[in-house]
Amino acid sequence: MDFSSAINTKMRDVEESSKEQFIVYRDKDSGWHCDHTKNQYGETFDWVEDALAQDPLAAFYTGAEFSKASFPSVYDTVLYNRIRSEYYIDRSSEKDNESLHALVSFFQDNVGELSHEVTDYLTTLERPLAALAYMCPLDMATGVEGWSYNEDLIADAMSSINNAVHDRLNVKANIDGFEDISRIYINDSVIIISENPDAENRYKVAENRYTQYYNETGDNNIYTGYTNDYIEAVLEYAERVQSNVKCVQSRRDLRQHKDGVDYVELKNGDCLPGSENEDFTGKLIIVKARELKPEYRSSENQLVQCTHGNGARPNAKGTSVFGKELLSGESVCFGRHQVAGIADPEKLPKWAITKLSEQKAEKQAPQKHTNPNKKPSLLGKLDDAKAEAAEQNKERNDVPKTKKHGLEV
C-alpha cells in the first residue's frame, strides 16, 4: 500500500475525532501501514514492537489529535513528524546543529506550500531529512536568538527543493513540443522516444549522454531522428536500447572472466552489526545499492575502501566519505547516509577476498630503498602543497555526482 492509501484508511477516525490509537509506519519492503495498535481489551498487539524496529520514524496518532483535519493536512503532518523524528535521532547521535534545526523549522511552517510532487517524493525515502538537507544547500540558520530560521531565504529554499525533486523524478519532459512516450537509462546514456502530434514528423527518437562530463560541455547528443511512422520509431528506440545493453553486458563478461566478479548485490546484512555508526576511515565499506543507478547495483561498485572525509567520522559536521573502489581503484565520493556500513569479512564475495589478498601481498613485497640523506626538492615540496590544498578543497565541496550515483539521497 502506498502512503496516501494508508492515510486514507484512517480518515474516518480523523473525521470522527476517534481516540483510538493507530500507528503509521513503513515496512522493510517500503509498503505503508496505518493500523490500530490495541485490541478490544486495550492490550497492545505484539506486532507493534516489530513495526517500530522496522521503521525508526514510525509514530502513533489518534484521530482526535488532528481535530477533523483535511486529508492533505493529515498527510503533511505525518510527513513532518517523520522528518522531526529523524532530526531527534540525529540529535541523540550528537549530529544536531543550528542549520539542521532551522531546516526542520522551515519545513514545519512551509510543508503546506510545497508541491505534492515534493511531499510525495519525500515520503518514499528512508531518510527524508537527509534528502532535504542535500536538496537545500542554503544555511537557513539566523544565529539570532528567538529566530528559528531566515525567512528571507524561504523563496530560494522552496525553489531549490522543487528543482531538485523535479530533476530526480525525471518528470515527463516536454521539449520543443515533444512529450516523452518512454525513456530508459543504460550505459551512461538515456534513450528517449517522444511525440508531437503537431510536428511535420510526429515521432522523435534521441540518444544522449547523461554523465557529468558531457552535460558540462554541452556535447551530449549522440543521435536524434524523426519519423511519422510509430513502428519505425519504436524499432529505432529498441535497437538503440539493445546496442547499449550489449555494451554493458560485454563489460560484465570481461570482468567476470578477468576478475571472477559474480555480480551479487550486497545488502545491510553483509555489514558488521552496528558498523553504520562507526568510523569508516581505513575500512572496507558497502555503498547502499539503491544509491547507485540500476546497472551498477552489484558488489564491484558497492565495495569501497574508505580513505578519508568528514563524513567518515560518525559525529562530524561534514557528510562526504571519500575512497577508492576495491576492484577498479577508481576514486569515488558518497554521503555518509549512502553507506550501509563496514563490510563483514565473513560475507565478502570471492572476488573481493582475492583482491584483498593481492593487496596484502603487494604491501608485504620488498620495497625499493631510497637515499635517506637526499633532501626533497623545492619543486617536490610545491607539488605536495598543491596536492594537500586540492584535497582540503575537495572536502569543502558537496558530494559530487559520479556516473554511478542514483537519482535519490
Between 281 and 138, name the one with better pLDDT.
281
- Which set of grid coordinates corresponds to residue 323? 575512497
The single residue listed with the C-alpha cell 514528423 is: 201
- pTM greater than 0.75: no
Contact call for residues 286 and 377 (beta carbons, < 8 A): no
pLDDT in tens, 299-347: 999 999 999 988 898 876 666 788 999 999 988 888 777 788 999 999 9
The H-or-E segment that residue 174 falls in is strand 174-175
- Given a cut of 80, whether residue 86 has pLDDT beyond it is yes
Query: How many Cβ atoms from other residues are within 10 Å of residue 277's Cβ?
Result: 9
**Can you tell me the distance from the alpha carbon of 403 to that of 236, in angstroms, rounded to the nearest whole number?**
25
Predicted local confidence at residue 286, as pLDDT? 95
Q: Provide the percentage of residues in the chain whose pLDDT is more than 70.
A: 82
CA distances from 248 to 16, 52, 188 (A): 56, 41, 10
Plot region of 282 (φ>0 → left; ψ -120 to 50 → alpha; else → beta): left
Tell me the H-state helices in 93-138: 98-110, 116-122, 128-135
Strand ranges, E, within 234-363: 284-287, 303-308, 320-325, 331-335, 339-342
Half-sphere exposure (Cβ direction) of 135: Cα atoms closer than 13 Å: 26
- Given a cut of 50, whether residue 216 has pLDDT beyond it is no
pLDDT in tens, 105-151: 888 888 888 888 888 889 888 889 988 888 887 888 877 665 578 88
Predicted local confidence at residue 90, as pLDDT? 79
Q: Residue 334 forms beta bridges with which residues? A: 321
- Given a cut of 50, whether residue 161 has pLDDT beyond it is yes
CA distances from 27 to 7, 88, 128, 266 (A): 15, 21, 16, 20
Long-range contacts, stretch 234-243, CB < 8 angstroms, 24+ apart = 234/193, 236/205, 237/182, 237/191, 237/193, 237/205, 240/191, 240/205, 240/207, 241/184, 241/186, 241/191
Q: Provide the percentage of residues in the chain whose pLDDT is more than 90.
A: 28
Give the closest residue to 304 by CA, choosing from 288, 290, 315. 288
